[in-house]
């Protein structure tokens, strides 16, 4: 079920793994990134999600302001929603990969666990293993 489909992202519900799927298609500016992540939050709320999969293979780098916003605003809201695991498939671009890994290292979640993967199959398997 597709919740949001834009040139930079598709947000959908993956019924096979019972997770919000955020599939980045390319660079997203600040407004686009925040719109996409808020749409993922909305879809998670509607489906009572406990898992999220971020397919970031084609994602672009994010600004430090957006990284801070994700850590201080979005991730805590996902945690409060009941999401317990987020798997990220790392970007192919070295700059985008560094941007994402730097941002993830800053989040200090108590319950929400995040993990990084090079491939989509490994990310999906990790999410399913939490059943």
For residue 116, is it within any domain?
yes
Q: What's the pLDDT at 26?
A: 94
For residue 69, is it within any domain?
yes
For residue 117, is it within any domain?
yes
Q: What's the pLDDT at 10?
A: 98
For residue 97, is it within any domain?
yes
Angstrom distance (rounded) from CA 82 to CA 19: 12
Token pair belonging to 48: 């009572």
Report the CATH number at residue 82.
3.30.750.24
Q: What's the pLDDT at 109?
A: 65
Element (H, E) at 81: helix 75-81
Token pair belonging to 10: 């598709």
**pLDDT, block means (10 residues), the chain with 131 residues:** 96 97 96 97 97 96 91 91 95 87 73 92 94 61
Q: In total, how many domains does the chain have?
A: 1
Domain housing 71: 7-121
């Amino acid at each position: 079920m597709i919740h949001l489909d834009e040139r930079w992202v598709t947000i959908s519900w993956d019924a096979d793994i019972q997770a919000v799927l955020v599939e980045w298609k390319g660079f997203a500016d600040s407004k686009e990134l925040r719109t996409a992540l808020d749409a993922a939050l909305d879809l998670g709320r509607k489906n009572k999600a406990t898992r999220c999969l971020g397919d970031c293979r084609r994602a672009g780098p994010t600004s430090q302001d957006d990284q801070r916003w994700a850590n201080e605003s979005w991730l805590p809201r996902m945690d409060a929603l009941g999401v317990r695991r987020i798997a990220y498939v790392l970007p192919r671009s070295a700059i985008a990969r560094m941007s994402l890994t730097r941002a993830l290292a800053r989040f200090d979640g108590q319950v929400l666990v995040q993990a990084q993967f090079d491939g989509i199959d490994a990310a999906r398997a990790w999410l399913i293993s939490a059943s």
